[in-house]
């Protein structure tokens, strides 16, 4: 008999054994508060081994970590880029509003600049994953978002790990997962500005698995306009379940207000932003880098099981 390596596949609906063992590991000691995800770092461009291990540990467990720069030097865009590189994050996503270096500065823009996108206002931003309108080959799998200056009031973020959303949906009804994995379950219509199409319509699944690693990826927006959900009953019920989860007071939602010098590094977890107010000319400023890669070594099972060897 030859020994063959079979990859751990907790997200395959047909594999309940892997799912149940991964689920037990995932939920045991899962962080419930943002403080449990916080890692002080002296210099984000040159993490110590302990700082790196702490961030990676949180990302493996919860797909996100919050870091706090304790060194004297304020972290700018090069520091954000440098931080990402230490976790295998290289390929920056180009988006319509990114600055020339592909890292976006998120702050309130004067209306005279003509932008009407909610991220550049002080309004609340509803639940989403970043780049849900991107084509399949340009999915945003990781984000680093750094707060250079906080709002005077408000601007809290709420986060939900997509793997927790997956568990809650699958436990409720495995058919929900099947429905949300359909390749045409969610369609974002084309983006047309002043009669010109600047982004084509984009259909895709909510949950998908990366081909090589079987990592879970989620694509979602809570917006109710300019979105077309597939009309089958189970898909509609799954979307409604997800909406109620996100709009409720589930203990799995993690709230945090990023302070100046803090940031989040994550595998594009679900997030929302509450409305905020700036104090005069002192504006809330965030730098956001979006990547096509996932944080290195954060595939489900990488630390709890790895590849299993079985006899064939
Ligand atoms: Fe976002």
Predicted confidence pLDDT, tens digits, the chain (312 residues): 444 445 789 999 999 999 999 999 999 999 999 999 999 999 999 999 999 999 999 999 999 999 999 988 878 999 999 999 999 999 999 876 666 678 999 998 877 666 667 888 888 999 999 999 999 889 999 999 999 999 999 999 999 999 999 999 999 999 999 999 999 999 999 988 888 888 889 999 999 999 888 899 999 999 988 899 998 999 999 999 999 999 999 999 999 999 999 999 999 999 999 999 998 888 999 999 999 999 998 887 765 544 343 332
pLDDT of residue 19: 96
pLDDT of residue 311: 30
pLDDT of residue 139: 95
Q: How far is the CA of 311 from the centre of ligand 1 (A)?
A: 44
pLDDT of residue 206: 98
pLDDT of residue 96: 64
Q: How far is the CA of 110 from the centre of ligand 1 (A)?
A: 20
| Domain-embedded: residue 136 | yes
Q: How far is the CA of 29 from the centre of ligand 1 (A)?
A: 27
Residue 214 CB: number of other CB atoms within 10 A?
17
Q: How far is the CA of 127 from the centre of ligand 1 (A)?
A: 8
Write phi, then psi, for 148 (nearest 5 degrees).
-90, -30
- Facing residues of 65 across strands? 265
- The CA-CA-CA angle for residues 241, 247, 249, to 5°, reads 105
Nearest by Cα to 13 from 172, 171, 177: 177
Q: What residues does the ion ligand 1 have nearby, CB within 5 Å?
A: 130
pLDDT of residue 120: 83
* HSE toward the beta carbon, residue 29, CA cutoff 13 A: 7
Q: How far is the CA of 5 from the centre of ligand 1 (A)?
A: 37
| Domain-embedded: residue 3 | no
Tokens representing residue 81 in the block: 């880029």
pLDDT of residue 101: 75
CA dihedral 173, 175, 177, 180 (to 10 degrees): -130
Identify the domain containing residue 140 by its residue range. Answer: 11-311
| Domain-embedded: residue 6 | no
| Domain-embedded: residue 1 | no
Q: How far is the CA of 144 from the centre of ligand 1 (A)?
A: 10
Per the structure, how many domains does the chain have? 1
Q: How far is the CA of 119 from the centre of ligand 1 (A)?
A: 8
Q: How far is the CA of 309 from the centre of ligand 1 (A)?
A: 39
| Domain-embedded: residue 60 | yes
CA 98 to chain centre: 18
CATH number at residue 100: 3.60.130.10
pLDDT of residue 98: 60
Write phi, then psi, for 194 (nearest 5 degrees).
50, 45
CA-to-CA distance for 155 and 275, rounded, in angstroms? 5
CA-to-CA distance for 20 and 56, rounded, in angstroms? 23
* Strands 64-69 and 38-41, sheet pairing: parallel
* Strands 125-128 and 254-256, sheet pairing: unpaired
- Facing residues of 218 across strands? 207
- Facing residues of 6 across strands? 308
| Domain-embedded: residue 262 | yes
CA-to-CA distance for 177 and 13, rounded, in angstroms? 8
| Domain-embedded: residue 4 | no
Q: How far is the CA of 129 from the centre of ligand 1 (A)?
A: 6
| Domain-embedded: residue 36 | yes
pTM: 0.92
Tokens representing residue 219 in the block: 């694509």
Nearest by Cα to 300 from 156, 179, 161, 182: 161
CA-to-CA distance for 192 and 310, rounded, in angstroms? 53
* DSSP code, position 92: B
Nearest by Cα to 120 from 273, 7, 250: 273
pLDDT of residue 6: 56
């Amino acid at each position: 008999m030859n020994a063959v390596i079979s990859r751990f596949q907790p997200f395959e609906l047909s594999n309940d054994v892997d799912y149940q063992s991964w689920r037990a590991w995932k939920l045991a000691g899962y962080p419930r508060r943002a403080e449990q995800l916080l890692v002080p770092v002296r210099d984000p461009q040159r993490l110590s081994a302990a700082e790196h291990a702490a961030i990676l540990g949180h990302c493996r467990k919860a797909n996100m970590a919050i870091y706090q720069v304790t060194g004297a030097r304020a972290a700018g865009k090069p520091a954000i880029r440098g931080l990402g590189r230490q976790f295998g994050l290289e390929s920056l996503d180009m988006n319509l509003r990114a600055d020339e270096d592909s890292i976006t500065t998120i702050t309130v823009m004067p209306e005279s600049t003509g932008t009407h996108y909610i991220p550049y206002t002080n309004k609340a931003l509803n639940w989403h994953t970043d780049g849900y309108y991107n084509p399949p080959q340009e999915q945003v799998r990781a984000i680093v978002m750094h707060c250079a200056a906080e709002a005077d009031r408000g601007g809290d973020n709420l986060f939900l790990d997509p793997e927790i959303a997956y568990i809650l949906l699958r436990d409720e009804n495995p058919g929900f997962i099947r429905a949300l994995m359909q390749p045409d379950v969610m369609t974002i219509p084309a983006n047309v500005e002043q009669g010109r199409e600047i982004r084509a319509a984009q259909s895709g699944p909510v949950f998908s698995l990366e081909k090589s690693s079987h990592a879970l990826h989620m694509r979602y927006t809570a917006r109710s306009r300019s979105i077309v959900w597939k009309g089958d009953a189970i898909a509609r019920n799954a979307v409604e379940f997800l909406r109620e989860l996100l709009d409720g007071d589930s203990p799995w939602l993690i709230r945090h207000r990023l302070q100046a010098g803090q940031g989040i590094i994550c595998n594009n977890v679900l997030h929302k932003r509450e409305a905020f107010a700036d104090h005069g000319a002192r504006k809330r400023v965030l730098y956001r880098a979006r990547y096509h890669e996932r944080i290195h070594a954060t595939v489900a099972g990488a630390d709890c099981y790895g590849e299993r060897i079985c006899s064939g």
